[in-house]
Structures are given as C-alpha cells and as structure tokens.
Amino acid sequence: MTSARNPALPDFDLERYLPYRFVVLAAQLSSKLAKQYKQEFGISIPEWRVLLNVGYTKDLSIRDIEQRVSLERSKVSRAATKLEAKGFLAKQVDARDKRLLKLTLTREGTELLAKLIPIAERFQAELNQILGEDTPALHLALDRLMQGTD
C-alpha cells in the first residue's frame, strides 16, 4: 500500500513510523484538553502544568519545575508570570538563596486547580476505557522509551 513508486527511494511506511505516531497522537490528546482548559478557564498547557506542580509541592522554584516537567525555563517563567497576574500564584524570593523563587498557589489558584483536576481525571479514565487491558502494557512501553532515549 505504501510502496515506493519512485525507484530511487527505499520503502518507507509512515503510518507505522513510531516517532510520527507519537507526535500525532500526543498533539491530538493534548489539544483536546487544551481547548477545554483554554475556553472554560483561560489556562494554557504550560500554565496548567505549572499550576499542577506548584499545587502538589511546596515552594518550588522555576528551575525545579523545568526539570520535573521538561518544560523550558522561559516557558515556565512566562507561565508563572501569567498565573501571578491572574492571581493564581504568588512569587517570593527565597531568603537563603536570593536567586531562587518560591512559588505558591493562592487560594484562588487552589480553587482553580481543584476544578481542573477532575476534568483531567475524567479524560484519563476515557483513555483507560479505550485501552482496556492493554493499559499496563502501554505504560511499560512508555517507561522503556523514556529510560532509553535519555
């Protein structure tokens, strides 16, 4: 079906090409949630990730988040600035090391996150539904790839 018509080219099957499949699927999944968050709450994906991290760990710095979530320094910084402007988180300079920032959710930020999480959970449940008994196998494969491609 995807055979090469051009004799100068080797055979190649894009439909089975793993990096491609990942990118397409990831974009689909991510944008589905992104639209919901954007429309209903005005929150972008980087903002959602930052919110989540700050929500679950005390006094994170920008750098901490960068490493955990594999999100660029500058992305994290800008997301944090926006969240601060919207009143969802507070920045505070670390007294011990004044280069660092300590990020904390405000009450409003906590309330927002409490609304966002169930939506994410519901989405995950949908996916597990679709995957059925293959869910663990997928996670295993993802573990392997994450490990292997560092």
Distance of CA 93 to CAs 55, 60, 76, 107, Å?
18, 11, 16, 19
101 binds DNA (CB under 7 A): yes
12 binds a second copy (CB under 8 A): yes
99 binds a second copy (CB under 8 A): no
User: Could you give the maximum distance between any two Cα atoms of the chain, in Å?
Assistant: 67
Q: Report how far residue 11's alpha carbon sits from residue 38's, in angstroms, rounded to the nearest whole number.
A: 41
Which residues contact a second copy by CB under 8 A?
2, 4-6, 8-10, 12, 14, 16-30, 32-33, 49, 52-53, 55-58, 69-70, 105, 110-111, 113-114, 117-118, 120-121, 123-124, 127-128, 130-132, 134, 137-142, 144-149
Which residues contact DNA by CB under 7 A?
44-46, 61-64, 66, 72-78, 80-81, 91, 96-101
